[in-house]
Amino acid sequence: MFLRIKWRSARIMEMPIAGVILPCLFVACLSRPASSIESSMEKTEELIPQRSVEQKPDSIEVATLGGGCFWCLEAVYQEMKGVLKVESGYAGGHIPNPTYRQVCTGTTGHAEVVQITYDPSVVSYAELLEVFFTIHDPTTLNRQGNDVGPQYRSIILYHNPEQKRIAQEAKKAAAKLWPKPIVTEIVPLERFYKAEDYHQNYYRNNPAQPYCIYVVGPKVEKFRQKFRDYLKQ
């Protein structure tokens, strides 16, 4: 701790008595009882605002979902309460460390997916899937709109048996909402490969890009309208 003395005027040092005042201050500090100094320090510390510590959730869980272009899912889930992080990537294929160009060929077996880290005390896995089956079309095989290929298939990659059970129940419930059969795959996650950096936060970083305006934007707006209670405050 530093004791800073602010002089009203620097010219006071030019006065003849300055040589007497400073030694006196020094002697006064030395003669002051230690208990008195510690008491003063404690009072000073009370006046200093403590830095707030961000509370972390007691537990976090992860979900991995694919429903067309990962830019769309990422943009939606980033606005959902309880979601701590969303990463775009690839999963479900047989090629290790795939690149975007490789996945776009449709020969790697990978789907474009998002990996969602969330606080289960705020949002449940079932609620994540409720949104999932609403913001993309789970009835079209290997495509979403004009995006065609197995990399755009509808897929849920579960992390444990409980997620598998919930996913199967959510798929049955979604069948009542769509006029055609649900083709969403439900498979175990083997490995998630994070996509290139320029794919992360794509909608936020490129809101004026045509694809973002005409494809991603409407999905985000649909989420905002249908799931207002799920929006982050």
Q: Indicate which residues carry an active-site annotation.
A: 69
Q: The tokens of 198 are what?
A: 């320029």
Q: Say which residues have a Cβ less than 8 Å from residue 82's Cβ, sequence separation at least 6.
A: 118, 119, 120, 121, 122, 123
What count of residues does the chain have?
Answer: 233
- C-alpha gyration radius of the chain: 30
